[in-house]
Chains A and B, each alone.
Chain A
Amino acid sequence: QQQVKQSPQSLIVQKGGISIINCAYENTAFDYFPWYQQFPGKGPALLIAIRPDVSEKKEGRFTISFNKSAKQFSLHIMDSQPGDSATYFCAASRRAELIFGQGTTLQVKP
């Protein structure tokens, strides 16, 4: 049973384009929603995170949009760059538990 569902599995975007990754969750008890970025051979690194009382959070080119009623949240990467090519994971947290989505492999073509 996947409590956090992420799509798409893979994504190819041209340089300068917008990358959008979507996640949906089931458990309304989740109270924190982070996104992680992972490069090959490395552990995931926290990219940006949001709490459910906020509908949007922006940090540089990265924006999280959060829809509490639909139990969905998404990551937007504006002006995507080849250096953004990585695997992205959404996650949902409840107390000390952290549930990850399946991951999205993003390739940004020059």
Chain B
Amino acid sequence: EAQVTQNPRYLITVTGKKLTVTCSQNMNHEYMSWYRQDPGLGLRQIYYSMNVEVTDKGDVPEGYKVSRKEKRNFPLILESPSPNQTSLYFCASSLSGGQGAAQPQHFGDGTRLSIL
């Protein structure tokens, strides 16, 4: 089954404690992306990756890091989380980046992070 898998689904942690949210896709997609969803703001793009070792900032990259060492994985790293990063996070993937293909076809089911 084609899917994007995020882990964990839920996490409550404290300010400053480094955390990683994993994302894996089994569709051999080149393009992957991270978003955060906040009420009244929709989804905002954090980082995206056009292919292995190619990453770029989205709309709201501050406080986040990503890496793309393998095609299937695109982890999101919060090195020193703060309460304003409490949000619902989504990973997504698409066959390729470029016109029309930048819109992710497959989203994961989300990771709800609470940072106290």
Name A's B-contacting residues (CB within 8 A): 4, 6, 9, 31-32, 34, 41-46, 49, 51, 89, 91, 93-103
Query: For B107, what are the chain A residues with a Cβ–Cβ distance below 8 Å?
Result: 43-45
Query: For B108, what are the chain A residues with a Cβ–Cβ distance below 8 Å?
Result: 43
Count how many chain B residues have C-beta atoms less than 8 Å from C-beta atoms of the other chain. Answer: 29
Chain A interface mostly? strand
Q: In the complex, which residue of chain B has the Cβ closest to the Cβ of A4?
A: B42
24 A-B residue pairs with Cβ-Cβ distance under 8 Å, sorted by A, are: A4-B42, A31-B100, A34-B103, A41-B109, A41-B110, A42-B109, A43-B4, A44-B43, A45-B107, A46-B105, A49-B100, A49-B103, A51-B100, A89-B42, A96-B31, A96-B33, A96-B50, A96-B98, A96-B102, A97-B59, A97-B102, A98-B102, A102-B42, A103-B42
